[in-house]
């Protein structure tokens, strides 16, 4: 058995006679490898979805709070278009994050807002500063907007090379700087002193806080946005609230940026189901606190237990995942062996992440299954 990409799912790969009509930068974009859908994986592994221990995408295995499922079931108006101004959602988010609703906009996942930001700032040839190893969407979206990606690599402990970023910021056409706290894939927090220094640069700082609920909201920089006209903070419901499949994210923006985003966004970008679920998750967030605490406890357990394997070297993390350097064996082979045992982890072979795996925190039984599988490889 092998984990393979489905073949033949990309029709029309031969050059087409109308292809010259495409934007050349789009025609030249590299194809990206989509993740395998859960059902397909389940088939390939010969295991039912419930039997797969999915620790490869930082999803919350507890799923949404019961109150969220109830709200989704009870909602009577799915035939009506959503509110383009997201009034209820933005009011509830305002109370959650402590920023005025005038500074908040929700999106079809934080991913949609990343794309919008690239598209409103970047003209062809303009540039972003990306700090790899990090989340892949920043460079992906910049390239979709015909932007250039200037890479300033993190240090071996994943902290930022602030002086390197300052140097890169002086380059021609550099407009956006993407930062992530906690960073994906290692889980380290951004040093507030670094952020303070970087906010003095003449560019827009986009700070992605997708995992901040696992680090503690006291580490958030949302309260800084009001005092900095060049800071945007992005958040999501995908991880802490367990609704990655519904696609709901939001951002806290300086009002001057939001004014332009309002003109730019798709009117119905956040669908009604995501809105209902998001409102219920915020109203019942006390119900979610125990699962967040359980995932944090599981991350801590993973860190201790994974370090006991001589071939794994886990990094400290403030998120719901743990990155491990694999020593003395191939991370690819390890990932495949774990998959055959029904445990999915993320594997990396990129620069800065050579021979690494990333394991999401799951339920205690998920960790048990992972540890048993690791003991067997």
Ligand X SMILES: *Cc1c(COP(=O)(O)O)cnc(C)c1O
Per DSSP, the three-state class of 122 is: coil
**Binding flag, residue 208, ligand X (CB under 6 A):** yes
Given a contact cutoff of 8 angstroms between Cβ atoms, the answer to whether 272 and 78 are in contact is yes
Closest to ligand X by CB, 121 or 237: 237
Closer to ligand X by Cβ: residue 130 or 184: 184
**Cβ-based nearer residue to ligand X, 182 or 342:** 182
Number of residues lying near ligand X (CB under 6 A): 12
Please state the closest distance from residue 21 (CB atom) to ligand X, in A: 31
Q: Residue 109 or 147: which CB sits closer to ligand X?
A: 109
The sheet carrying 356-360 orders its strands as 53-55, 343-348, 356-360, 321-326, 312-314
Q: Per CB under 6 A, which of residues 9..28 are in contact with ligand X?
A: none
179 closest CA partner among 170, 167, 197, 171: 197
Q: Cα separation of 255 and 359, whole Å?
A: 38
Task: Using CB under 6 A, pick the residue from 130, 146, 230, 236 that binds ligand X.
Answer: 236
Residue (67 or 244) nearer to ligand X, CB: 244
Q: Within 10 Å of residue 4's Cβ, how many Cβ atoms?
A: 9
Helix 364-376 / helix 285-307 crossing angle, nearest 10 deg: 20
Neighbours of 228 (CB within 10 A): 16
Comparing CB distances to ligand X, the nearer of 323 and 374 is: 323
How near is the Cβ of 53 to ligand X at its closest, in Å?
19
Tokens of 129: 């500063």
Contacting range for ligand X; rule: CB under 6 A; set: 186-194, 236-244, 292-300, 353-361? 236-244
Identify which of residues 291 and 374 has a Cβ nearer to ligand X in the complex. Answer: 291
Peptide bond into 185 cis (omega under 30): yes
Q: Which two tokens stand for residue 21?
A: 């009509």
Rounded to 5 degrees, φ, ψ at 365 are: -65, -30
> Taking CB under 6 A as the rule, does residue 177 contact ligand X?
no
Question: Who's near 89: CB < 8 A, 6+ residues apart?
Answer: 106, 250, 270, 275, 278, 279
For the window 93-132, what string marks contact with ligand X as x by the rule CB under 6 A? Answer: ----------------xxx---------------------
Minimum CB distance to ligand X, residue 135 (Å): 4
Q: Dump the DSSP string for 76-88.
A: --TTSPP-TT-HH
244 near ligand X, rule: CB under 6 A = yes
Minimum distance of ligand X from residue 108's CB (angstroms): 8
Q: Which of 249, 251, 342, 362 binds ligand X (CB under 6 A)?
A: 249
Residues at the site binding ligand X, with contacts judged by CB under 6 A: 109-111, 135, 180, 184, 208, 210, 236, 238, 244, 249
């Amino acid at each position: 058995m092998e984990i393979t990409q489905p073949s033949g799912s990309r029709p029309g790969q031969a050059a087409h006679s109308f292809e010259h009509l495409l934007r050349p930068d789009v025609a030249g974009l590299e194809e990206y490898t989509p993740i395998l859908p859960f059902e397909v994986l389940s088939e390939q592994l010969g295991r039912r979805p419930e039997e797969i221990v999915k620790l490869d995408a930082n999803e919350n295995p507890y799923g949404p709070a019961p109150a969220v499922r109830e709200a989704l079931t009870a909602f009577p108006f799915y035939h009506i278009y959503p509110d383009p101004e997201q009034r209820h959602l933005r009011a509830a988010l305002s109370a959650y994050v402590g920023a005025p609703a005038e500074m908040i906009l929700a999106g079809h996942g934080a991913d949609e807002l990343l794309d919008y930001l690239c598209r409103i700032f970047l003209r062809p040839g303009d540039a972003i500063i990306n700090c790899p190893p990090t989340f892949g969407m920043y460079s992906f979206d910049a390239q979709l907007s015909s932007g250039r990606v200037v890479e300033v690599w993190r240090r071996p402990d994943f902290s930022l090379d602030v002086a390197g970023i300052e140097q890169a910021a002086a380059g021609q056409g550099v407009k956006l700087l993407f930062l992530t706290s906690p960073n994906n894939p290692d889980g380290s927090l951004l040093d507030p002193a670094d952020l303070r220094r970087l906010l003095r640069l003449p560019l827009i700082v986009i700070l992605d806080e997708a995992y901040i609920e696992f680090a503690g909201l006291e580490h958030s920089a949302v309260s800084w946005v009001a005092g900095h006209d060049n800071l945007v903070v992005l958040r999501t419901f995908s991880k802490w609230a367990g609704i990655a499949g519904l696609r709901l994210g939001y951002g806290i923006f300086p009002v001057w940026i939001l004014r332009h985003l309002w003109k730019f966004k798709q009117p119905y970008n956040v669908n009604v189901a995501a809105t209902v679920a998001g409102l219920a998750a915020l109203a019942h967030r006390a119900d979610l606190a125990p699962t967040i605490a359980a995932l944090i406890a599981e991350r801590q357990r993973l860190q201790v237990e994974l370090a006991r394997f001589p071939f794994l070297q886990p990094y400290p993390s403030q998120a719901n995942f743990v990155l491990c350097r694999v020593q003395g064996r191939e991370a690819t082979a390890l990932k495949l062996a774990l998959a055959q045992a029904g445990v999915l982890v993320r594997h990396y072979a990129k620069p800065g992440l050579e021979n690494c795996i990333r394991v999401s925190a799951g339920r205690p039984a998920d960790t048990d299954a992972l540890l048993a599988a690791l003991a067997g490889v």
